Amino acid sequence: QVQLQESGPGLVKPSQTLSLTCTVSGGSIRSGGYFWNWLRQRPGQGLEYIGYIYYTGSTYYSPSLRSLVTISVDTSKNQFSLRLNSVTAADTAVYYCARGGESHRLSWYYFDFWGPGALVTVTS
């Protein structure tokens, strides 16, 4: 059973960079076959997709966040990370990492294993 766990600071100041790491267990990012994703959920709101990374380092970012987001992978640690630049209060959210569907399938955009989520609050 694949398990994911987010970690990182729970408080970030406005204009600074939000950084989170997702540690994967029960499965190897390096083995390929799946996209590894970040999503977020603002308080009381719905789900918002941020982007994914493949074990090769190939990435996709949501157009709405593309200029601010970087997702990276460390296969030696079985981790992938999110960096969101120039945050504002609107970036306050629970951030989830999740495994996507099989990468060779056109239907890859579903998420079958999720971390419990990490609340990040942007405040001065």
Partner 1 sequence: QSVLTQPPSVSAAPGQKVTISCSGSSSNIGSNFLSWYQQLPGTAPKLLIYETNKRPSGIPDRFSASKSGTSATLGITGLQTGDEADYYCGTWDSSLSAVVFGGGTKLTVL
Summarize as ranges the residues that interact with partner 1 (CB under 8 A). 46-49, 62-64, 96, 101, 106-107, 109-112, 114-117
Cα 8–Cα 109–Cα 21 angle in degrees, nearest 5: 10
Which of 85/114 has CB closer to partner 1?
114
What size, in residues, is the chain?
Answer: 124
Task: In angstroms, give the least distance from the CB of 42 to partner 1.
Answer: 12
Q: How far apart are CA 7 and CA 95, in angstroms?
A: 10
Tokens 């030696």: give the residue.
Answer: 76
Report the run of H or E that residue 78 belongs to, with start and end.
none
Which of 87/117 has CB closer to partner 1?
117
Which of 18/117 has CB closer to partner 1?
117
Task: In angstroms, give the least distance from the CB of 11 to partner 1.
Answer: 20
